[in-house]
Each structure stands twice: as C-alpha cells, then as structure tokens.
Chain A
Amino acid sequence: MKIAVCAKVAPDTATPRITAKGDGSGIDTTGIKFVVSPYDLFAVTEGIVLKEQGKASAVHLFTVGGDSDVTVLRGGALALGAEDLTLVDDPALAEADSLAVARSLAAAIGQGEFGLVLCGKQAVDHDNVQVPAMLAELLGWPHVSLVDDLVIDGDGFTATRNVGGGVAEVVKGTLPAVVTCDKGLVEPRYAKLPDIMKAKQKKVHKKTLGDLGLSAADVAPAATYTAYGEPPPRPKGRMLEGDVAGMVDQLVDALRNEAKVL
C-alpha cells in the first residue's frame, strides 16, 4: 500500500509576532522562519513509521505552493524518508481557498494508487480545518479526523479520534481513507544533516493545473480573505497588590463588580 501525505509550509509557531502588510492584503513574511506545519509533520512522521513497520510500501508527499516551499519540505519532510514530492504550482492558485487546494490535491493524488492519505488536523497559518475533509469528499473516501492512534491491518484500519469533551471514539474502517493527525499520534521527527544532504537528490514533480486536468475556473475561490490586521486590542490590565488574602479579596470583587464575570 502506498501512502500520500499532504503537507504545507507555515510560519514557525515560535514566531512572536505576525504583522499585516500595510494595505492589509496579507501578512508580511519578512524575517519569518517557515517550517513544515507541525500537524503535517505528525502526518509525515506517521507515514514513515508505517513504512518502517512494513504496513506501507512507499510515502509520497503532496503540496500546493511554490518553489520556496520545496526547500523547506525537502529538509523537513522528504529527508525523513519519503520517496518524492509533488508540487502543484500554478498562477491561478495564488488566491486559492480550501476547496481549490482540495481539488488540486485530489486531482494529483487521484493520478496515483494510494491506500491512505495522511494530513495534519489543521495548518497553523489559516487554521481552517477544511482541506482534509474536502479532499476525502472529492476522492469519495471516508475520513477520520483528529486521530491520535492509528493501526493499519491489511486493508482495514482502527483509529481513535477526539470528538470533544474528552470523549475518544475508536472507529474501524476499510482503506482507502483520509486520516487527519492530532498531537499524540506519533513523536514528530526532525531530519539529521546527512539525510537532509541526501534529500537533495530526491525528485520533485511540478504540476500545473493543466497537468492535472483542471482549469482556472475549477479553482476560482469562493472564500476570499482581506483586511489582514492586528488582533483586537485588549483592555489594559491591572496588577493587584497586598498580601494573598488581600489580593484574593480584590480579585473576587473585581471579577464580580468590574468585569462582571462572577
């Protein structure tokens, strides 16, 4: 069974500030360090682990983006042991929304014979949580989201998903399927220098929309993003003073009478 892993590149979560461009058309990427989006790194690592366990024959990476993303994915994902990377890059995707990305990925993944698609549960840039479920719908496959335990057994699988409220559900299904990876599924790996050097030889297949049988109209965005800016300002806070008993009294009074949340 071959595994397809969808991975994208996003700002390092340790980036202290994200600022918008002056005209609000996007974020200012100057000086930002880009990494493999952390949940996607869980997906890549899980794919590699399944290959090591003999559950999968090969792991192929897919991304929608540009040349600068290839550099990050080479060192951060291909170097972990994936076979190759398919990059969907087309000027018509510049303003792509989630459905446009899902259509591009579905077309690219549909050209191979995959038993399992692994994705991160969400990307850490737009936090949209849309592409994997849309991709599954377009492929006509079931999907399981927020998975923190996955067992592959022949063409069957058992996955544990977090449905909220601390409730975990164990579900069984038959491959092919799309699985979205949550924290706890696998310890993410970071490539070592020799592997990063070796990854320079790995193949990157560039595809335009035309190569995938798609047109610009197929990826015309329904959702558009504008007016990028700062978070709404927080009212200025106040430090309480005195001994513990005094501060506790002031706090309860403030929560009741000033903030009115008690």
Chain B
Amino acid sequence: MSILVLCEHDGGTFKKTATELLGKATGLAGALGTTVSALVLGDAPAASLGAYGATKVFQVSGDFSSYDTDVAVAALRAGIDAAAPSAVLAPASFLGKDALPRVVAQLGTGQGTECTDLRVDGGQIVGRRPIYAGKAYCDVRVGKTPAVYTVRANSFAQPAAGGGSAEVVAVPFSAPTPRLTLVERKRPETTVVDLTEADRIVSGGRSVKSKESYDSLIRPLAAALGATPGASRACVDAGYAPHDHQVGQTGKVVNPSLYIACGISGAIQHLAGMRTSKVIVAINTDPGAPIFEHATYGLVSDIFETCPALTARIQALD
C-alpha cells in the first residue's frame, strides 16, 4: 500500500511538480513505513524517477500529448488500479482539477484539493490547505482508500537527485473514444512557465497606464528575471495585459518564491491570488497602499523609474 505520485511531463520532460511531490512523498512514506511509486501517463523516462525516491513507476502506455478528459480519467484509473496505493498525490494542475475528481467519484473516495502542506498524523496523511482564497486554512483528512490529495505547485522544496533507479511497470491501456472533439488549440505568443507553476512573477497594476508601458516596464523586468508576467484585474480590464495574466480571486492563484507587485494597491481580491508567495516585493508611490502590509520588501517609488532601473541592475548580474 504505497503512496502513488502522479508525475506529469511535457513531451517527455518531467515537470517540476513531479520531483517536488516525489521528494515530499519520500518523507511521508518514511514516517508511514511504506514506499513511493510514481504514475506516468505516456512516453517519458520513467526509470529516472528512481533518483527522486520512487521504487516503482507505473507507466500507462499511450499517446497523451493531446489532452482529453475521458482518456485522462481512464488512464488515471488504470494506473491507480494497477498500483493499488493507500494514497495518491497529484499536482493541482488542469488535469488534477479536471480529470482527477471524476476518478475520485468512480472510486467513491475523497480528495483534498490544492494542499500547501502534507504531514503524517495518526498513521495517516493529512493535508493543510488555504480556504476562502487564503484568508483561512484548514486540515483535510481523507478517510477512505486511496486517499487523494492535490498539491499547489512550489509548496515543497525540490529534492536533490540520488542514485536510485526505479522498476518500471508497464500498464496496458486502450483509450476510450473521447466524447469531445478538439477543434483548435490557441497558444499564447510567448511560451513562458504558466503563472500557477511559476517560481518568479512580475505583475503590473492599473498604474502602468497603457499596454505600451506594460510591455516596456513589466515584460522586460520579467524577462530579465526569467519570470512570468502577471497583472491585477484593473490592469487586465483596462486592456494593458491579456486576461490569462490576471492574478487573484477571479484570476490565477499563484505560489512563486518571488512575486514583484509593480503599482498594485493590494486589494483583498488580488491578495487572494498571491498571498502565499514566499517573498513579496511591492513597488508603489503610496506609502499607505495595503500591499505594503504583506510585502517582504517595500519600495515607495515610481514604477516608471524603478522598473527600468531594476531591470538594468538584474541584467548586469553575472
């Protein structure tokens, strides 16, 4: 009865959440006296996950390069049936939100969503998670088997690779006929890490005043830091940044190690999306702006001056 970790990959390259979750699972398994297995859908270097603590990898064969809910549900089910785990850990990704609850319903078990911490208590995994958009927290405990927990990206440290190699168990799979047909996939112009998985984010507020300044203040700073650009709702609603850049209650919930808020007041609905960021930098001309109450470092200054100076300073780093 091991802990099964869903390891997602992008065309064969494992996502950071895969190793992050394996690292955490290894600690939990030690406390529970059990082992860690991994679940991989499709073609990826499964045996390499042994370096992060997986003893077995259940690899469901098939082409999963194009997402379909029915296919994902059936594949997750096949992998879970083959592994027969006591607990399943998965990232709170699109798949973790779109497909996993259907599997949980099939299995008649329960799911703790988007936990930011996991621990062992009373011989059982317990999740701690933000609720009410992070204004409160609670524990979630799943009393049936398998107990399913999804985890917010960047909640745990990345483990160092060890020397282990995992046994790969091939799970035969014949995909069901999808009930939905994919007509079109619209990709954004630039390919940066998704906000929900990003380790660094630079966001702009209403104060950027135009799309041109968003592009000349926020994007270059983000590029210099290898960060994903984000925005407040006021910035998005004014058309300075695209909709998918919005951070907050009605946008993306993010959890980076560095969040730089440029000319953002720090409204409760914006905080809802970024308050778990490890380090928050606030740049704002108003010393009374609520964002400063949450900032690790605060700069009372003008973004039109500060952003270019910071960009240049970062670019000059070796």
Question: Are A223 and B142 CB-contacts (below 8 A) given A164-B93, A238-B298?
Answer: yes
Q: Are B186 and A170 in contact (CB under 8 A)?
A: yes
User: Once the chains are docked, how many angstroms separate the CA of A128 from the CA of B110?
Assistant: 11
B175 at the interface (CB under 8 A from A): no
User: Once the chains are docked, how many angstroms separate the CA of A196 from the CA of B316?
Assistant: 61
Q: Are B310 and A13 in contact (CB under 8 A)?
A: no
Chain B contact residues: helix, strand, loop or mixed: mixed
Across the interface, name the chain B residue whose C-beta is closest to A136: B102
Q: Are A137 and B137 in contact (CB under 8 A)?
A: no
Measured between beta carbons, the chain A residues less than 8 angstroms from B138 are 225-229
Q: Mark A234-248, 1 if CB is under 8 A from B, else 0.
A: 110111100011011
Q: Mark B248-267, 1 if CB is under 8 A from A, else 0.
A: 01110100011000000000
User: Once the chains are docked, how many angstroms separate the CA of A172 from the CA of B113?
Assistant: 28
User: Once the chains are docked, how many angstroms separate the CA of A11 from the CA of B136?
Assistant: 12
Instruction: Using A171-B181, A173-B180 as known contacts, list a sample of 14 further A-B pairs with CB atoms less than 8 Å apart, ordered by residue number in A.
Output: A18-B135, A19-B136, A99-B110, A133-B105, A167-B185, A173-B181, A174-B179, A224-B143, A232-B137, A237-B296, A238-B298, A244-B305, A255-B258, A262-B225
- List which B290-318 residues lie within 8 A (CB) of chain A: 292-302, 305-306, 309-310, 313-314, 317
B298 → A minimal CB distance (Å): 4
The residues of B with any CB-CB pair to A shorter than 8 Å are 67, 69-70, 73, 93-94, 97-102, 104-106, 108-114, 128, 130-144, 179-188, 191, 193-194, 196, 200, 225, 242-244, 246, 249-251, 253, 257-258, 268-269, 272, 275-276, 278-281, 287, 292-302, 305-306, 309-310, 313-314, 317
Total A-B contacts with CB atoms under 8 angstroms apart: 247
Chain A contact residues: helix, strand, loop or mixed: mixed
Among B100, B108, B134, B253, the residue within 8 A (CB) of A222 is: B108
Q: Mark A133-148, 1 if CB is under 8 A from B, else 0.
A: 1101110001111101
Measured between beta carbons, the chain B residues less than 8 angstroms from A16 are 268
Question: Are A129 and B110 CB-contacts (below 8 A) given A169-B184, A251-B281?
Answer: no
Question: Are A184 and B243 CB-contacts (below 8 A) given A158-B183, A237-B292?
Answer: yes
Q: Are B101 and A98 in contact (CB under 8 A)?
A: yes
Measured between beta carbons, the chain A residues less than 8 angstroms from B300 are 239
Q: Are A127 and B133 in contact (CB under 8 A)?
A: yes
Q: Are A225 and B299 in contact (CB under 8 A)?
A: no
Q: Are A142 and B180 in contact (CB under 8 A)?
A: yes
Q: Are A145 and B112 in contact (CB under 8 A)?
A: no
Measured between beta carbons, the chain B residues less than 8 angstroms from A69 are none
Across the interface, name the chain B residue whose C-beta is closest to A25: B138
B243 → A minimal CB distance (Å): 6
Q: Are B250 and A38 in contact (CB under 8 A)?
A: yes
Question: Are A127 and B144 CB-contacts (below 8 A) given A13-B269, A134-B104, A240-B297?
Answer: no
Q: Are A127 and B105 in contact (CB under 8 A)?
A: no
Question: Are A261 and B257 CB-contacts (below 8 A) given A133-B98, A166-B242, A230-B136?
Answer: yes
Q: Are A127 and B143 in contact (CB under 8 A)?
A: no
Q: Mark A166-210, 1 if CB is under 8 A from B, else 0.
A: 111111111000000001100000000000000000000000000
Q: Are A222 and B181 in contact (CB under 8 A)?
A: no
Q: Are A14 and B144 in contact (CB under 8 A)?
A: no
Q: Are A244 and B309 in contact (CB under 8 A)?
A: yes
